[in-house]
Amino acid sequence: MAKRTRQQLLADLRRIKRNRTVADVAAVLKAYGFEMRKPTKEGSVWSKGAYTLTLPSPHGGDKVLHPGWVGLTIRMIEAADIAEEDSDDE
């Protein structure tokens, strides 16, 4: 099985925001260079440069993230990627 590129992972996450687990979102964050700083029982803190994202842990026995958190993650990845491209251009 071929390894998926980070653009493919992000496109897949963008296409289907519902029924996404923390592991799905973490895989995309890792592919884009985000590092987990503080895993806690309430959530995890991911950072890349000046961008920091706190992902909550699903509660109530459910392993699925709310679609709003998935959308926020997508926007954060895109913003960090644009900032990285801008800094590379300078």
| Architecture in CATH for domain 6-89 | 2-Layer Sandwich (3.30)
User: Which residue numbers in the chain have pLDDT < 50?
Assistant: 1
Q: Where are the domains of the chain?
A: 6-89
Nearest Cα residue to 71 out of 23, 17, 16 = 17
Q: What is the pTM of this model?
A: 0.85
